[in-house]
């Protein structure tokens, strides 16, 4: 009905027009800087990871200073966290400030000033921290757009899972 032999129906023509317009509109979105903040979503995830790593370093330094746990293992894990911290700082955009802005959260504090920490962390509390951190990495890796950054986050998570296992064995 209403269609000549071999012709295109109005419905098909309208559908093709809408699909073409949608594709053109979506293609144009890729060139527009739509994010309304100076901090990109990738940088936001990076800064969150930086704060976590700074706190982990403080906790391991406190545990080592207190002598709670196997010092050789704690020193190796602490060095891994420092390496992660350096890699995350290197991943920040060139024009980004190396330290997070104040609105991103408070800087890491000494163990005696940290209300969450109280006393030196035990190996079991460090293991729980590592396991929790490793569990968050897949979601954080999925939240970033840069594949290299996603791989870095995934690698850090794998390392943290190893730390949790080693602390469980200790």
pLDDT at 104 (0 to 100): 45
97 and 16 in one domain? Answer: no
* Whether 30 and 102 share a structural domain: no
- Quote the number of domains for the chain: 2
* 105, 158: one domain: yes
User: Which pLDDT does position 41 carry in this prediction?
Assistant: 87
Does the pLDDT value for residue 10 go beyond 80? no
82 and 142 in a single domain? The answer is yes
Using only the alpha carbons of the chain, give its radius of gyration.
Answer: 24
pLDDT in tens, 63-105: 999 998 899 999 999 999 999 999 999 999 887 776 654 444 4
Contact 17, 63 (CB under 8 A): no
**CATH code for position 47:** 1.20.1260.10
pTM exceeding the 0.75 threshold for the entire prediction: no
Q: Residue 37's pLDDT band (boundaries 50, 70, 90)?
A: low
141 with 63, same domain: the answer is yes
- 29 and 65 part of one domain: no
- Whether residues 26 and 86 share a domain: the answer is no
Q: How far apart are CA 9 and CA 143, in angstroms?
A: 43
CA distance 20 to 41: 30
What per-residue string of b and e applies to 53-83 under the rule 16 or more CB within 10 Å gives b? bbbbbbbbbbbbeeebbeeebbeebbebbee
Task: Look at phi and psi of residue 110 and say left if phi exceeds 0, alpha if psi is from -120 to 50, else beta.
Answer: beta
List the domain range (segments joined by +) for residue 71.
41-169
């Amino acid at each position: 009905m209403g269609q000549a032999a071999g012709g295109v129906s109005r419905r098909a023509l309208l559908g093709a027009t809408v699909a073409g317009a949608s594709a053109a509109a979506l293609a144009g979105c890729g060139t527009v800087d739509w994010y309304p903040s100076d901090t990109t979503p990738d940088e936001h995830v990076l800064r969150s990871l930086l704060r976590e790593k700074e706190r982990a370093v403080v906790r391991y330094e406190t545990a080592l200073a207190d002598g709670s746990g196997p010092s050789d293992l704690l020193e190796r894990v602490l060095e891994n966290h420092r390496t992660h911290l350096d890699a995350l700082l290197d991943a920040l955009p060139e024009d980004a400030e190396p330290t997070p802005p104040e609105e991103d959260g408070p800087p890491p504090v000494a163990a005696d000033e940290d209300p969450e920490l109280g006393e030196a962390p035990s190996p079991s509390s460090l293991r729980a921290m590592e396991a929790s951190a490793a569990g968050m990495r897949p979601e954080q890796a999925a939240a970033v757009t840069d594949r290299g950054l996603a791989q870095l986050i995934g690698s850090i998570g794998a390392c943290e899972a190893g730390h949790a296992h080693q602390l469980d064995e200790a």
